[in-house]
Chain A
Amino acid sequence: DAGVIQSPRHEVTEMGQEVTLRCKPISGHDYLFWYRQTMMRGLELLIYFNNNVPIDDSGMPEDRFSAKMPNASFSTLKIQPSEPRDSAVYFCASSLTGTKYTQYFGPGTRLTVL
């Protein structure tokens, strides 16, 4: 299996621009999670989906952030407009019901907003 795939791996953008991060979960997994990791705040859960339906988005920082999962094999996290404080590593993870809640993480997208 290819594991969780994220793209791009690195993104550098200017303040005010729209940023779209992409994730392909492991085939057959029914849960998908988006996390953000920074030195200051550590690993934060932003939102998670079950069978493509958002279950909990209470971690999404503000309205500038939105996430979608149009089908079981694809999800996006969009930031519009981006700000320098959004600079972080964004991880996508997936899991499968009945497997002891083990989450499989992608390699992350390092976002830098100038």
Chain B
Amino acid sequence: GEDVEQSLFLSVREGDSSVINCTYTDSSSTYLYWYKQEPGAGLQLLTYIFSNMDMKQDQRLTVLLNKKDKHLSLRIADTQTGDSAIYFCAEKTGGYQKVTFGTGTKLQVIP
């Protein structure tokens, strides 16, 4: 079955690194994603990783994938107050375009 879990809340100080974790259950996942939701807005794709990769870096963002443990993480370097948002992990499994979203992690950045 498809199930994506995340911790609900993370608080970090401005300038520190943030690490948001996610576990998923479907080993056949092809793509895994991180979406960001700012207050009062819809979700927006932040980055994705293909299942045959271990790591992907994009400026301040680093995605790590451990397929053996079905664990995905998002590291944000030099976290800024503008990074305060809810971050959703998501996985693509099966046919069609359906994506299963996690519970979301609310990141609070303290100035």
Contact = CB atoms under 8 A, between A and B. Distances in A.
A43 B92 CA distance: 16
A102 B33 CA distance: 9
Interface in A54-113: 55-56, 91, 93, 95, 97, 100-108
A contact face: mostly helix, strand, loop, or mixed: strand
A31 B104 contact: no
A4 interface: yes
Contacts of A102: 33, 45, 48
A45 B98 contact: yes
Query: Size class of A's contact patch?
Result: 20 to 34
A34 interface: no
B contact face: mostly helix, strand, loop, or mixed: strand
B97 A50 contact: yes
Interface residues of B, number: 19
A96 to B, nearest CB: 8
A95 B43 contact: no
Nearest to B44: A105
Contacts of B92: 101
Nearest to B90: A103
B88 interface: yes
A32 to B, nearest CB: 10
Interface centre among B96, B97, B101 (most CB of A within 10 A): B97
Interface of A: 4, 31, 42-43, 45, 48, 50, 55-56, 91, 93, 95, 97, 100-108
